[in-house]
Chain A
């Protein structure tokens, strides 16, 4: 299977707005791809075909009547199944949540995507309650890697990575608490944006860790990523953590020169526990950007530890009643992690939150002399489905615990990151382009420059 360039969101929207392609045809094409390939990829848990057709027809009617359409007119997209989709129970990868009443209203970000003309075609597979880095799911089966279907898609937004990596849809939305946008982006060879904490509304999405939850887009090009991001920005009273900053569009800035930006490579912790392919990927990106300076992020290992503690305890608090009432309906591995999380003394959690303040101040100092930090998105390319350990420098390490070691210390303090795909053979791998808080524009401009240089790109899927 190959991806025609006209399959990007930008090209679809341009063709639809210009009357060269109907929104309905664009939608039917996505539905046909899903039908043809998703029996293998298993990225979708719900396909909202009738809703999508109705939306597409409405866009076509607007165009026929000469009414203005949005920048994503006719662009098919799908969302991780922790987003509320009106009419569906929000399962969040679980068995238990399937008993919930159907959502009465779409998540804010779906409403904003559709206000820009995008067409929701379905909900996507994910790790149970987002407590996952693999993309495997005991209830729905694993979403599969589009470049090698025997490999992990990455989690927890595995279906999002698989669906965009497999070119079933040009844009998907997911969530990232500790790496769940950046890990599937890396394994599936696509672009992912984890914005600044608080930038995009989380209203009407199923939570995991209130202190660390972010939502964001996946795409096959930086332009598409920016189009989706711009469409979703803006304050929202329905999310207590959502910023009141005005919309700061990035799309018009993407091609601005990056020559004045100070780019550094994250050293120390971020250069340990990595496979040669991760070193190669960061090296290629650094070389293309002319970056030679290496900056040590102090106490990154402790930041990862604190993120782990906050995650397991806030996750336990969220699920306490379900753990009491329906423990046998959880994925046993998730249940046992959450029960253990409920047992961590509160004083240690408070210290983790205080450490976060300290660590944030150190990063603020670094961003006084650096605009961009580069780090691996994952220590390795996608492991095999079901793989439990990997060998690094002769040492056997658990896969699950180590996939997110490079993403956790970054999301811990909410920094914006674009994960960019380096198309290595045989499998792609991602690099984190990390910027200061609220400077998504810088991370996206650098990603766009790398894309134009040909250093990063979403490879065509060839695993199915």
Chain B
């Protein structure tokens, strides 16, 4: 049975021209689940619209 993220993984891999072998898929999916879970934790945090990103960061 296909996992929920599989269609997304296939679509992004195609858009980025990334080769993915079937044997790698479970580990890629597991890593993506962790990344998205942690990204959601950041996403949930409300920030003012005016907040500047810190791409090159002078401490």
Decide whether A and B are members of one complex.
yes
A contact residues vs B (CB 8 Å cutoff)? 196-198, 210-211, 240-241, 243, 299, 301-302, 304-306, 308-309, 312, 320, 323-324, 327, 332-333, 335-337, 339-345, 348-358, 360, 401, 413-415, 437-438
Which chain A positions have C-beta within 8 A of B21?
327
Known: A312-B31, A351-B47, A354-B52. 20 other contacts (CB 8 A): A198-B58, A210-B56, A211-B56, A241-B57, A243-B58, A302-B41, A302-B42, A305-B38, A308-B34, A332-B24, A335-B24, A340-B32, A343-B8, A343-B13, A344-B36, A348-B36, A348-B43, A358-B51, A414-B59, A415-B59
Known: A336-B24, A351-B47. A342 touches B59 (CB 8 A): no
When the two chains form their complex, are residues A413 and B57 in contact, meaning their CB atoms are under 8 A apart?
Answer: yes
When the two chains form their complex, are residues A309 and B39 in contact, meaning their CB atoms are under 8 A apart?
Answer: yes
Which chain B positions have C-beta within 8 A of A243?
58
Q: What does the 1/0 interface line of B1-17 toward A look like (CB < 8 Å)?
A: 00000001100110011
Cα of A335 to Cα of B31 in the assembled complex, Å: 11
Cα of A309 to Cα of B28 in the assembled complex, Å: 15
Cα of A306 to Cα of B41 in the assembled complex, Å: 8
Cα of A53 to Cα of B52 in the assembled complex, Å: 51
The contact sample of 30 A-B pairs, CB cut-off 8 A, is A198-B58, A241-B56, A299-B45, A302-B42, A305-B41, A306-B42, A312-B31, A324-B18, A324-B19, A333-B27, A336-B27, A336-B28, A339-B24, A340-B28, A341-B31, A341-B35, A343-B28, A344-B32, A344-B36, A344-B39, A348-B40, A352-B39, A352-B42, A353-B54, A354-B47, A355-B47, A358-B51, A413-B59, A414-B57, A437-B59
Contact with A354, one of B18, B24, B28, B51 (Cβ below 8 angstroms)? B51
The minimal Cβ–Cβ distance linking A268 to chain B, given in whole angstroms, is 16
When the two chains form their complex, are residues B57 and A342 in contact, meaning their CB atoms are under 8 A apart?
Answer: no
Cα of A434 to Cα of B36 in the assembled complex, Å: 30
Cα of A349 to Cα of B43 in the assembled complex, Å: 9
The minimal Cβ–Cβ distance linking A301 to chain B, given in whole angstroms, is 7
Cα of A335 to Cα of B32 in the assembled complex, Å: 12
Contact with B53, one of A197, A308, A353 (Cβ below 8 angstroms)? A353
The minimal Cβ–Cβ distance linking B38 to chain A, given in whole angstroms, is 4
Which chain B positions have C-beta within 8 A of A302?
41-42, 45
Which chain B positions have C-beta within 8 A of A306?
38, 42
Cα of A333 to Cα of B28 in the assembled complex, Å: 9
The minimal Cβ–Cβ distance linking A262 to chain B, given in whole angstroms, is 20
Return the chain A residue nearest B37 by Cβ: A305
The minimal Cβ–Cβ distance linking A236 to chain B, given in whole angstroms, is 15
Which chain A positions have C-beta within 8 A of B13?
339, 343
Which chain B positions have C-beta within 8 A of A335?
24
Cα of A438 to Cα of B58 in the assembled complex, Å: 10
The minimal Cβ–Cβ distance linking A316 to chain B, given in whole angstroms, is 9
When the two chains form their complex, are residues B56 and A240 in contact, meaning their CB atoms are under 8 A apart?
Answer: yes
Cα of A421 to Cα of B9 in the assembled complex, Å: 43
When the two chains form their complex, are residues B35 and A312 in contact, meaning their CB atoms are under 8 A apart?
Answer: yes
Cα of A336 to Cα of B30 in the assembled complex, Å: 9
Return the chain B residue nearest A303 by Cβ: B42
The minimal Cβ–Cβ distance linking B18 to chain A, given in whole angstroms, is 6
Contact with A336, one of B31, B39, B47, B59 (Cβ below 8 angstroms)? B31
Contact with B39, one of A299, A305, A327, A354 (Cβ below 8 angstroms)? A305
